[in-house]
Amino acid sequence: MGQQLYYENAYLKSFMCTVISCKPGKNGYDVVLNQTAFYPEGGGQPADTGVLGGVRVTDVHEKDGKIVHKTESPLEVGSLVEGTIDWPRRFDHMQQHTGEHILSGLIHNRFGYNNVGFHMGEEEVTVDFDGILTMEEAEEMETAANEKIYENLPVEIWYPEEEELEALSYRSKKELTGKVRIVRVEGADTCACCGTHVERTGEVGCIKVTSLIRYKGGVRMTMLCGKRAMEDYRRKQRQAFRISNLLSAKISEVAEAAEKLKEENSAKGFQLVGLYRQLFEAWTKEYPQKEGRLLVWKDGLAPVQLREFCTLLAQNGKGSAVLVCSEKEGACQYALGSRDEDMRVLSKELNGRLKGKGGGNPQLAQGTFLASREEVEAAFSEE
């Protein structure tokens, strides 16, 4: 497999190595080295990226007992090259992974729940637990986890001997054999893990739970650590300032201001619905009752308003079939209603002739025609 320098020193940013093999692979070249500081994807942690011999490394993974580096260009076999990892990316992963250990361990200690799923994405970390937590309980555990960060405890990593391992109580997602790598934060967590971690908990910076949902009989928690948590706070603070300015309210009072605005808009919405109803009733009176079909153009109406106006016309016998249309951006939104005819049939026929889509029930159909006013009028009069 080659020497795994990332286990010897997770803070190693560059190293020298010899190219053992280089073969064409999917979307680049597969390179194997005699030793590497590039961490391969595994255990929920993404792979390192960086530069190897002046060539971009885009992915690293284990295959057939070897650590394979995906490069954009080939490297000469037998050559001595320098590898440089993307350190900000690596340190971010170390913060996220160590923070996840602390929080998962404390939840396991308090509630007995197991971490049954862990994924470190580009923007957030998700952790699945096999038991139910409330948001209040999650925040309580978040507070306890941050206390461990403030204590700046050492993060211990070692390979116990067989007898020590048998006597050791540790978390693991699966049964393990052979040498087991243990990561421990005193008073928080002891876990079998193959990832990279910070040396002391203070380097995690902070831990923030951002969401909690029910998932497969347990919960899925989303969390952020370190720089990610700070950047998330900044984004949300900027949004809070914008909302505060728009509502002319203090940041601490934006929720109450938003609720008040929602109530006011709801009241205005009910009032507007009533006014439109009166308008549609007045328009309906302008049309005489008749047996033939009626086509009405009323631009500026929303789909729900088209539907309401069309229904009023049909119910009041203004035509055996009523088509109300509103032109918008080269298309025609429509509502089609009747008291006697099946509008599903008529809508299907018109959609076929007018490049339309939509449907409904026997009394009312609704959709859009990709046709001009003249084409709509001609097709409806010919049906």
151: tokens are 């204590």
For the chain, the distance separating the N- and C-terminal CA atoms, rounded to the nearest angstrom, is 76
Distance CA 6, CA 234 (A): 32
Q: Do domains 3-85 and 91-234 have the same CATH topology?
A: no
Domain boundaries in the chain? 3-85, 91-234, 287-382
User: Is pLDDT at 383 greater than 60 in this prediction?
Assistant: no
Instruction: Tell me the mean pLDDT in the region 59-81.
Output: 94
pLDDT of residue 328: 81
Q: By the 8 A CB rule, do 29 and 75 touch?
A: yes
Q: Which residue has the higher pLDDT, 221 or 172?
A: 221
Convert the pLDDT of each residue in 183-212 to its tens digit: 999 999 999 999 999 999 999 999 999 999
Q: Is 98:228 a contact under the CB 8 Å cutoff?
A: no
Pick the CATH number of 287-382 from 3.10.310.40, 1.10.10.60, 3.40.50.300, 3.30.565.10: 3.10.310.40
Q: How does pLDDT run across 118-127, given as a tens digit for each residue?
A: 999 989 999 9
Give tens-digit pLDDT for 150-191: 999 999 999 998 888 888 888 887 777 678 999 999 999 999
Give the residue among 118, 119, 142 at the shortest CA–CA distance from 209.
142
At 127 the pLDDT is 95
The pTM score is 0.74
Domain 3-85 bears CATH identifier 2.40.30.130: yes
C-alpha separations of 158 from 92, 110, 184, 245, 319 in Å: 22, 25, 9, 53, 84
CATH number of 91-234: 3.30.980.10
pLDDT in tens, 326-364: 988 778 999 999 988 899 999 999 999 999 999 899 999
DSSP code string of 314-351: HHTTS-SSEEEEEEETTEEEEEEE-SSS-HHHHHHHHH
Is 109 in a helix, a strand, or coil? helix
Residue with tokens 């555990």: 141
Q: Six-digit token pair at 148?
A: 């461990």
What pLDDT was estimated at residue 254?
A: 87
Residue 59 scores a pLDDT above 90: yes
Cβ atoms 319, 336 nearer than 8 A? no
Q: What is the pLDDT of residue 1?
A: 67
